[in-house]
Amino acid sequence: MKPVPKSPDWMLSALEERRQQNLMRRTVTLGSPQIPHAKINTQDYAAFCSNDYLGLANHPALIQALHDTAQEYGVGGGSSHLVCGHLTPHQQLEDALADWLGYERVMLFSTGYMANLGVISALAGKGRPVIQDKLNHASLIDGALLAQATMRRYLHGDVASAEKLLSRSTDSGLLITDGVFSMDGDVAPLSELSNLAIKHDWMFMVDDAHGLGCLGEDGRGCLSLAGLDAERLPILIGTFGKAFGTAGAFVATSHDYADYLTQFARPYIYTTAMSPAMAGATLASLRIIQSSEGQERRDRLSAHIAYFRQRMQSLPVVLMASETAIQPILMGDSKTALQISERLKSLGVWCTAIRPPTVPIGGARLRITLSAAHSDADLVLLCDSLEHVLIAK
């Protein structure tokens, strides 16, 4: 038996506290591709917790593109983009994204978390404060902390609260919001926030991880939904691990911003570039998103959302004000959320309970996510199962 180091008392105390509060997290292992009918811990389930909103993670065209690109350019990036890790597939993907979204430049990052850390830590600082939505993703909060910037958080989705904070600041800085909020599924008031940023001469940044591919004309996300362009939204973050079905992230911006980030965004400068094979697969995904097939998948997803919300109206549940693929059902306390999740699993439905600190205390929920890859029968199973366990509760 391998020797086990003695764990410090503070660590054991923290773990026991998590257990007592029903907040202990554990990894689950999928034994299948990322598909609606997934094998999890050797059992088969209809899964409703993946961010694969368009059902592209196991698409044959992406698998083929990954294979073909790896055959030509290999698997590893080999070094950072600035040394010798920027390969032709990276440049092709950056150019295609810039053209699609209407920006001068796109820069690739290995993850969405890294993109937010890199961009915010470079653009904000001790003399350039950050103001952001109360419910922004952890990576946006951490980016401001890494920048050592003064940070204030306005009430969720509240434009008046944001303006109050902007008006009080003696320095201009960075106004940041998610496009679609990952735990609530609602959409930020981007047009109004953009107007505020322009009025107060602040930089405006949006992380549209959960909107790109799913929302707006041609799948261009919240940018399109709010009628914005590169001038009114100068810094747009997108990720590939959701609707694109791959991995990695990007920032879309101007030449000047991109040049500045290339000099000062440390996670970009000092990290090995994403796999060129993944860049090739992501380009194939973008082509699907832009095509008639992509529109068909968005339409199917919209139909699933409408059906789900209609079915839930007759149940004793609190739905969030979401018209996106993220459809949370508030449970309140963590114990109840875990119990309902376990009952759903006994009926063949996998939906993870989301608990603090990911959500506020008292805000534990089932974060149900819908995909274009779900069948009508899958939605019926989900709604019938929820009806069974929620009424039984």
Q: What is the pLDDT of residue 24?
A: 87
The pLDDT of residue 2 is above 80: no
Asked if residue 388 belongs to a known ligand binding site, the reply is: no
Q: What is the pLDDT of residue 393?
A: 59
- Is 37 one of the annotated active-site residues of the chain? no
Q: What is the pLDDT of residue 194?
A: 98
Q: Which residues lie across from 183 on neighbouring strands?
A: none
Local structure of 190: helix, strand or coil: helix
Asked if residue 19 belongs to a known ligand binding site, the reply is: no
User: Which pTM was predicted?
Assistant: 0.94
| Set 50, 110, 139, 182: catalytic member | 182
Asked if residue 304 belongs to a known ligand binding site, the reply is: no
| Token code pair at residue 284 | 């194939």
CA–CA dist 204, 173 (Å, integer): 9
Q: What is the pLDDT of residue 289?
A: 98
The pLDDT of residue 165 is above 80: yes
| Set 81, 86, 90, 242: catalytic member | 242
Fold assignment, 60-290: Aspartate Aminotransferase; domain 2 (3.40.640)
- Is 110 one of the annotated active-site residues of the chain? no
pLDDT band per the 50, 70, 90 thresholds, residue 157: very high
Asked if residue 239 belongs to a known ligand binding site, the reply is: yes
CB atoms within 10 A of CB 294: 22
Alpha-carbon Rg of the chain, whole angstroms? 21
**pLDDT of 328-337, one tens digit each?**
998 888 898 8
pLDDT band per the 50, 70, 90 thresholds, residue 57: very high
| Set 86, 210, 304, 374: catalytic member | 210
Local structure of 130: helix, strand or coil: strand
Instruction: Give the residue-averaged pLDDT of 367-390.
Output: 95
CA distances from 211 to 135, 219, 224, 370 (A): 16, 8, 10, 13
CA–CA dist 220, 212 (Å, integer): 5
Encoded amino acid at 173, one letter? G
- Is 182 one of the annotated active-site residues of the chain? yes
Asked if residue 88 belongs to a known ligand binding site, the reply is: no
Rounded mean pLDDT of the chain?
A: 95
**pLDDT of 5-29, one tens digit each?**
889 999 999 999 999 988 888 888 8
pLDDT band per the 50, 70, 90 thresholds, residue 88: very high
- Could you give the percent of the chain with pLDDT greater than 70? 99
The residue ranges of every structural domain in the chain are 27-53+292-392, 60-290
In contact, 280 and 87? CB cutoff 8 Å: no
The pLDDT of residue 364 is above 80: yes
Q: What is the pLDDT of residue 392?
A: 66
Q: What is the pLDDT of residue 41?
A: 83
The CATH classification of domain 27-53+292-392, taken from the options 3.30.460.80, 3.90.1150.10, 3.40.50.300, 3.40.50.2300: 3.90.1150.10
The pLDDT of residue 100 is above 90: yes
| Token code pair at residue 39 | 């094998």
Q: What is the pLDDT of residue 40?
A: 86
**pLDDT of 281-328, one tens digit each?**
999 999 999 999 999 999 999 999 999 999 999 888 878 889 999 999
